[in-house]
Structure 1
């Protein structure tokens, strides 16, 4: 993010500028869709095109064209599917879906931002910047810090401290997808599927 730049959410395709909506809630819904096995890759492309592209119904495009545009949105605008996906490959300490209530409450607490009111408005990049700057006093950061803490080795002085931390870690643990590599692998797999569709 550069403060001197504007968000230019446009894909150039076939000599035409296609405007894209990268509001945070749309990107989050796209992530949810990618994990949903009830839809085929073809259905996902159609849905993603309609989700991201502004006035999508005005474009008379075939599947392959939509596929290329969706691929460009993920790789060029969101930075997924390439070497620099923007996702840490280390230990994962939060989940945007599972921690949704903590994120909502923390944005309200720190910034007085109601994320429900900001759907369709708050840009994905702004959302990420604000999320990464939440103060330690917020519930979200409290939970993240609990997950990050290492349980100390037992001594005769720290039994209560250890038991309390273990209890909190159990309460706030991420039961699924505890490694961000899985999220990156899913996005890369989808990007590869888009490329395979393009070659057919």
Structure 2
């Protein structure tokens, strides 16, 4: 993220010595992410949409195909420009080799696991921004006042008292063998209440007793 307190935000990328300006309003970037996750779209069409969505252009109506797009973008720049946009938004993905923990020992980062999803956790994020910063994210989307870089830094800087941070804390809690049974059940129930869709089935399985687990596995085998 190119946020600098001394120079501001740089929303331009350079491809083959040509400068392209980007529109990185936060909700537009979130829609860009959703577009890339849509496997019903071909990769070629996703590249096209990526450029149409993020380029800061003065076109009256967005291009409907590549033929119209190359009136604004040099055809030799298309793939490189798409990659430059990805790099500008996502940044350098440096693989970590260990799980990162806070001073209390709680997991705060793990390259193998995501502890939040902006789409699924949108309600928690909305409430937390309103609580900490008095920023209404819906209003910010409507007036285009919040940049993607600012959104990311504000998200990571939310206080521990916000609902979003409390949900992350619950998801990262570990159940250890020396815990009393009641405490283990309390944590499992808390995790189930705020689980991401990708984690929900495994958490529900952990909460089953032995008989329920056997029945569940039988049903799964039948469905295969």
TM-score tier after normalising by the smaller chain length: 0.7 to 0.9
* 8 Å CA contact 1:46, 1:63 repeated in 2: no
Q: Report Cα offsets for 1:152-198 as digits up to 9, x if no partner.
A: 4355xx443322211011121223289xxxxxxxxxxxxxxxxxxxx
Find out whether 1:104 has 2:116 as its counterpart: no
* 8 Å CA contact 1:110, 1:134 repeated in 2: yes
Q: Could you tell which deviates more after superposition, 103-112 or 161-170?
A: 161-170
Q: Please name the residue that 2:25 is paired with.
A: 23
* 8 Å CA contact 1:154, 1:162 repeated in 2: no
SS in 2 for 1:18: strand
| CA–CA separation in structure 1 for the residues paired with 2:113 and 2:15 | 37
- The verdict on how the C-alpha distance between 1:83 and 1:143 changes in structure 2, with shifts beyond 3 A counting, is closer
| CA–CA separation in structure 1 for the residues paired with 2:181 and 2:18 | 66
Alignment of 1:57-68 (within 5 A): 57=59, 60=71, 61=73, 65-68=77-80
| CA–CA separation in structure 1 for the residues paired with 2:131 and 2:158 | 9
Alignment of 1:116-195 (within 5 A): 116-119=138-141, 120-153=144-177, 158-176=180-198
> Structure 2 unaligned runs (5+)?
61-69, 97-108, 201-224
Q: Please name the residue that 1:39 is paired with.
A: 41
SS in 1 for 2:131: helix
| CA–CA separation in structure 2 for the residues paired with 1:121 and 1:135 | 22
| CA–CA separation in structure 2 for the residues paired with 1:90 and 1:148 | 13
Q: Please name the residue that 2:207 is paired with.
A: none
Q: Could you tell which deviates more after superposition, 99-108 or 4-13?
A: 4-13
| CA–CA separation in structure 1 for the residues paired with 2:58 and 2:77 | 13
Larger Rg, first or second structure (1 or 2): 2
Q: CA RMSD in A?
A: 2.7
Q: Give the TM-score normalised by structure 1.
A: 0.75
Aligned length: 174
Find out whether 1:69 has 2:81 as its counterpart: yes
SS in 2 for 1:116: helix
> Structure 1 unaligned runs (5+)?
179-200
| CA–CA separation in structure 2 for the residues paired with 1:177 and 1:68 | 36
SS in 1 for 2:19: strand
* 8 Å CA contact 2:95, 2:111 repeated in 1: no
Find out whether 1:78 has 2:89 as its counterpart: yes
Q: Please name the residue that 2:104 is paired with.
A: none
**1:48 equivalent among 44, 47, 50:** 50
**Cα shift at 1:11:** 1.9
Q: Give the TM-score normalised by structure 2.
A: 0.68
